[in-house]
Amino acid sequence: MPLPPLLPITPFLRPARGDAAVPGSKSLTNRAMLLAAIADGPTVLTGALFSEDTQIMAAALRRLGLDVGEDPARGEIRIVGRGGAIPVEAADLFVGLAGTAARFLTALCAAAEAGVYRLDGTPQMRKRPMRGLVEALRSLGADIRCPGEEGHFPLEIRAHGLRGGEVRIDASESSQMVSALLLVAPLARGPLIVEAIGKVRMPFVEMTQRLVDAFGPNRTEGAASGPENAAEPVFRFVAGPMKLRSPGRFAIEPDATAASYFLALPLATGGSVFLPNLRSAHGQTLQGDAAFIEILMEVGATVREQDAGVIASREGPAPLRGVSRDFSAFSDTFLTLAALSPILGGPTHITGIAHTRKQESDRIAGAARELERLGQKVVEGADSLTVEPRPDELRRIAGLGPVEIETYGDHRFAMSFAILGCHDLHGDGRPWIAIRNPSCCAKTFPDFFVLLEGLRQSSLAAR
């Protein structure tokens, strides 16, 4: 059922109770799809995500001539790899606002032995950083032209393969550019050495390395180099040409970022939520965003891992605590915390998020505007956000009627502030937050509001 353009959020009248089966990881799904496409033979991805971002990747691979079959009912995507060959030598690819598809497909097309490929996206995608990747690929021999603004979409690639060698890239704006190079390194004619500078989001690069290892016979290598106190640390990654092999079937983990909303829900409502198949311990998950669980526990949640998944809960009246944390390694979750800051018992200080200004929206500026709309005291920095809760002002403003939260076409605004709206601020179940354009969640989590309403109904039925 289509969502209305303005969706009031009905608070939970009782503590949350129930299961939240979140979809597969977007980051894992799109990385695994690309590796399956350049491996030799068929690969079935199980537990895969079906959303706008992954459908964009699947559609692009089909336009490149690859056999991609999707079975949403079974949660499976089947891709028949051609051992690195791209069958179609001329194609126009649309990447929408999908950053992973944009960076990964650019690298894939540049690594093709021959062909002319044109890539473009939405107006917002044309603003997102691509220069570092474009320049890195050019240094490896790629012919990439920018018909519009240099270093941005649209791109035209006249492919004749990548020679390998050493390349230096500023990864502070997006670690996806490093991942893109590592994903196509098996196709290069010689070993590829990537030196990444800036604030590298290492968990996502490590995810890429482990996925390449799952498809390849050789291990990629990566380590920090230079003095520990260097102003600009350098991370060096080495990957060589190799023949990727299909693992046959590859399981996609539940999305740790999507899980953050339901892990945080008990902070707003009390009670407990079980997330099946989720893993939190380092080494058991490929996703760095699972580290957000530590933040939730510091705020006041209890999180327990079981064989079948993770339970997040909040029991008792103990006040929630504001926290001060660096989110640079798992910044996709910072909005989850920022949205809850009005109901915490002290200031919240979030750092390490400068690069989120160039994602689907300027997330720092947007968060500041929406929290100020809720009457909170907000200090916006270039790389930070500080929120001082003002509960009396929150109640006064919300008492005038539901506060309309702008989402800027960004799925993470819709989901984060929806969790805040589940808090029964008035004590009588009256909606006090309404989400504009809630359908933007289709980008990564099409059934988010269905799952949220199901949990609300489960809480009403619980004894």
DSSP per residue over 32-60, as a string? HHHHHHHSEEEEEEES---SHHHHHHHHH
Is there a single domain that holds both residue 209 and residue 220?
yes
40 is catalytic: no
- Under the phi-then-psi rule, with left for phi > 0, alpha for psi from -120 to 50, and beta for the rest, what region is 211? alpha
246 in a structural domain? no
Is there a single domain that holds both residue 362 and residue 450?
yes
Rounded CA-CA distance 35/413 in Å is 31
Tokens found for residue 129: 């950083």
pLDDT given at position 318: 80
194 in a structural domain? yes
pLDDT band of residue 228 (cuts 50, 70, 90) is very low
Task: For residue 75, give the DSSP letter.
Answer: T
Tokens found for residue 228: 């520990």
Is there a single domain that holds both residue 354 and residue 365?
yes
The pTM assigned to this predicted structure is 0.93
Q: pLDDT tens, 282-340?
A: 558 999 999 999 999 999 999 999 889 999 999 877 889 999 999 999 999 999 999 99
Query: Looking at the 3D structure of the chain, how many domains does it have?
Result: 2
* Mean predicted confidence (pLDDT) in 127-137: 95
374 in a structural domain? yes
Is there a single domain that holds both residue 54 and residue 183?
yes
Average pLDDT, the chain: 93
Length of the chain: 463
Q: pLDDT tens, 377-392?
A: 999 999 999 999 999 9
Is there a single domain that holds both residue 18 and residue 31?
no
Which of 177, 184, 174 lies closest to 211, judged by CA?
184
Q: pLDDT tens, 239-249?
A: 878 899 999 99
Using CA of residue 195, residue 200, residue 203, residue 204, what is the dihedral sign? Answer: negative
pLDDT given at position 379: 98
Would the pLDDT of 365 be above 80?
A: yes
Q: 209, 238, 267 — which closes off a domain?
A: 238
CA atoms within 13 A on the CB side of 174: 22
Cis, bond preceding 154 (omega within 30 deg of 0): yes
Is there a single domain that holds both residue 111 and residue 202?
yes
245 in a structural domain? no
* Mean predicted confidence (pLDDT) in 132-159: 97
Q: 170, 205, 238 — which closes off a domain?
A: 238
Is there a single domain that holds both residue 205 and residue 260?
no
CATH code where residue 310 lies: 3.65.10.10
Between the alpha carbon of residue 319 and those of residues 12, 16, 284, 341, 374, the distances in Å are 18, 17, 31, 13, 20
52 in a structural domain? yes
- Domain of 226 in residue numbering reads as 26-238
Which of 28, 115, 45, 29 lies closest to 80, judged by CA?
45
Is there a single domain that holds both residue 225 and residue 113?
yes
Is there a single domain that holds both residue 343 and residue 455?
yes
Would the pLDDT of 230 be above 60?
A: no
pLDDT given at position 234: 76
247 in a structural domain? no
pLDDT given at position 369: 98
Catalytic hit among 332, 383, 410, 428? 332
1 in a structural domain? no
CA dihedral angle for residue 164, residue 167, residue 173, residue 178, rounded to 10 degrees: 40
244 in a structural domain? no
Is there a single domain that holds both residue 396 and residue 293?
yes
Q: 183, 214, 238 — which closes off a domain?
A: 238
Which stretch of DSSP H or E encloses residue 61?
A: helix 52-63
Which of 102-106, 452-456, 458-462 shows the lowest mean pLDDT across its residues? 458-462
* Mean predicted confidence (pLDDT) in 251-261: 97
Rounded CA-CA distance 445/51 in Å is 6
Is there a single domain that holds both residue 40 and residue 11?
no
Rounded CA-CA distance 338/351 in Å is 11
Is there a single domain that holds both residue 363 and residue 303?
yes
Q: Which residues pair with 93 in a beta bridge?
A: 119
Q: pLDDT tens, 260-295?
A: 999 999 999 999 999 999 988 655 899 999 999 999
Would the pLDDT of 221 be above 70?
A: no
Would the pLDDT of 2 be above 90?
A: no
Would the pLDDT of 3 be above 50?
A: yes
* Mean predicted confidence (pLDDT) in 402-415: 97
Q: Which residues pair with 136 in a beta bridge?
A: none
**Kind of pairing, strands 249-251 and 433-436?**
unpaired
The answer to whether 134 touches 156, Cβ cutoff 8 Å, is no
Rounded CA-CA distance 380/387 in Å is 9
